[in-house]
Amino acid sequence: MAAEIDARTARALEFRTAHYVTAVAEQLMADGVPVTSVYSCGPSSGPEDSFEDVEGGIDFTHRFGRQISADSEGGLHWTGTSGWCYLRSTGPVRDFLAGAGWMEEGLLPEPHRVAAFLDTVRLTPAAAGSRERPRYRATGRGVRELLDRLAGYVPGPPAQHAPQPRFAELRARAYHERVRTALAPQGPDPVLELPLRASEFQAVLHLLEYAEVASSSFGPGVLAGRLSEALQARRGPAPQPPAAGPPAGAPTAPGPAGPPAAATGPRTPPSRTGGPRRAVAGLGCSERIAADLYQIFR
């Protein structure tokens, strides 16, 4: 640890960095990115981990990382000397920054610029960012100036805004807004003929109930409960199995001449996954809703 960074200053750096990366995460979530967590580490030394300067970062769902790079997971990482990079989990533990793609837009770029950098990573993961690490300040130097710049991302009295509860509230509000927007479409809202087994439909109901019971007071729990009620009310009885008939290829007695009998109920198209389909539900726009809710718990 640098001599000029005492324990109190190290804690202040970690605290303010957590709020800065949370502000970036808020922008990413507003853009639809599935953020799972944020973190920060102040200058410290110990038997297992040591950090010469302050660092922080943002983690995403496993599925999101694999969409960017099929052979590795990744996340956004920030260092107090070099700014932001996209970090892939391919480097050795002793040098986890090996292979990182550096943003190269200053030490504390605004959240919307970091979001734009991630967009570039998603479009061209192999080419995004520089492989040469930039240096905007020396390790352990200019600490007071860095603290002053980070202070602008701490909302209100610091004692009332712990970083982790703030992130949890922001994430819940982001998904609440996605659900609310999806349930109140401004344009056409057609009913989807979505092939769905009864077991899959029940799994969606369980997931919605989980969202309802696990949600914070800021989250989409109330909307999840309402959606579950609406889907169950719309479900209707499951189709009955067809009555037994003569084996295939067996001769049948000729019937009286006349027009064919009218169908007695709606036809149930076969499942795309094989076997008879046991239940069909018109879910409206809930494919998008279910996907948004699913991201909360990945």
CA 45 – CA 145 distance, rounded (Å): 23
Higher pLDDT, 281 or 196: 196
| The pLDDT of residue 247 | 58
Mind listing the pLDDT tens digit for each residue in 215-248?
777 677 888 888 888 888 887 766 666 666 655 5
| The pLDDT of residue 120 | 95
- Whether 41 and 186 have beta carbons less than 8 Å apart is answered as no
| The pLDDT of residue 73 | 74
Q: Which of 79-83, 127-131, 251-255, 260-264 has the highest mean pLDDT?
A: 79-83
Of 66, 51, 46, whose CA–CA distance to 13 is shortest?
51
CA 1 – CA 83 distance, rounded (Å): 19
**Sequence-ordered list of residues with C-beta below 8 angstroms from that of 186, at least 6 positions apart, any chain:** none
Q: What's this model's pTM, rounded to 2 decimal places? A: 0.75
